[in-house]
Copies of this chain bind each other. A is one copy, B any other.
Amino acid sequence: MTINIPAEIGMCVEDVDTPALLIDLDAFERNVDRMANFISQAGVRIRVHAKTHKSPDIALYQIAHGAVGVCCQKVSEAEALVHGGVRDVLVSNEVVGQRKIERLAALAKRARVLVCVDDIDNISDLDEAAGRYGVTLEVLVEIDAGAGRCGVQPGDAALPLAQKVDASANLKFAGIQAYQGKAQHVHDFNERKAAIDAAVDKVRKTVGILKDAGLDCDIIAGAGSGTYQFEAGSGVYNELQCGSYVFMDADYGRILMEDGRQIDDFENSLFIYTQVMSKTKIDKAICDAGLKAQSVDSGLPLIYGRTDVEYIGASDEHGVISDPDDKLRLGDKLYLVPGHCDPTVNVYDWYVGVRNGVVESILAVSARGMCL
């Protein structure tokens, strides 16, 4: 059987096989430090989103550096994280269907488990399963903060859900989930800020309605790596859910600050390491990272540190690189900044952690493919 590990500890990075998913460990650690500093100054909590990295190792490192726990989006992802030692997991998503609810309740025997709801009958299903396993599930009522996906309308619609959770024997009402996912990748600063200002108003109103009904929100959660400063400064949100900041990607690189410059609060720490595997044309090279080595939903990858060559096309197993000055040779290796980090991580089994040009760690992407 093939284990398909592209590297060994102690190897020079140049010897790592391709395509491989590399972490620049220094850059990664600086990103985590910067967020920890920001959080402590802003006076809010961070519950980091593990859907980005799908790795208990990375989650535990983030927890050791100030995170109160993790979020994830799927029950099977939560299982992989708990299996890897994480003991405080919010499934920041609705969990629907008997099999998944059963697994969620069972998992709560091994860790603190929180989940979101936006449907009244779903609350009964969760309560019943929790009762059967003798556990308490903590529940956030999700409101649609503007992303147009899950969540009830902000305001009055949240109240009956929160009341039903509160009245359920095996559930604990924990607060509000209000993630504005659509705002994260809005490139223009003012537009991005306006989207979060609107979300904050909705959250404030909803929290007020619940409070008037005697329901306090311990957790008022949301925010991603594109907008976290707005939520943190809102005076309403108290728990951020950023994920991508640990890695960043090409699309986050297009987000602009107020002065029109690209954001620079975090660094690219995640790279697809690729190799020229065909060079039969003067002005073109073919590399070994195509559609199965990344997700191109948010655009093609960038070639890191190079302005003389450009990644211009992806097919299943090949990337086409424009090489107008005929600089590349067979076997040359390049670092790609993925277009979109989360779904790119999801096609790899291993991270290769590199420091000072040497492989220092090989980490399993334990929740890779955990979509149930």
Contact = CB atoms under 8 A, between A and B. Distances in A.
Interface of A: 1-2, 4, 6, 15, 17-20, 51, 73-74, 76, 79-80, 83, 93-97, 99-100, 118-119, 121-122, 144, 148-153, 181, 275-281, 284, 286, 288-289, 291-293, 295-297, 314-318, 320, 330-331, 340, 342-343, 346-349, 368-372
B342 A369 contact: no
A369 B348 contact: yes
**Chain copies in complex:** 2
Contacts of A331: 96-97
A20 to B, nearest CB: 8
A320 B297 CA distance: 15
B73 A316 contact: yes
Given A97-B17, A292-B342, A292-B343, A280 B370 contact: no
Contacts of A144: 280
Contacts of A74: 317
Nearest to A316: B342
A93 B315 CA distance: 13
A106 to B, nearest CB: 11
A100 B17 contact: yes
7 contacts: A1-B80, A4-B371, A19-B372, A51-B317, A292-B346, A297-B297, A368-B369
A346 B4 CA distance: 15
B284 A371 contact: no
A315 B284 CA distance: 33
Contacts of A93: 277, 317
Nearest to A298: B291
Question: 10 nearest interchain CB pairs?
Answer: A150-B278, A2-B79, A73-B317, A291-B343, A96-B277, A292-B346, A17-B99, A4-B76, A152-B280, A316-B342
A369 B343 contact: no
A256 to B, nearest CB: 21
Nearest to A121: B330
Given A94-B277, A97-B17, A346-B347, A315 B121 contact: no
Given A315-B149, A346-B347, A347-B347, A292 B96 contact: no
Contacts of A121: 330
Nearest to A153: B280
A297 B19 CA distance: 19
A291 B280 contact: no
Nearest to A95: B277
Given A330-B119, A342-B292, A4 B372 contact: yes
A60 to B, nearest CB: 17
A121 B73 CA distance: 48
B370 A151 contact: no
Given A17-B99, A97-B18, A100-B17, A148 B73 contact: no
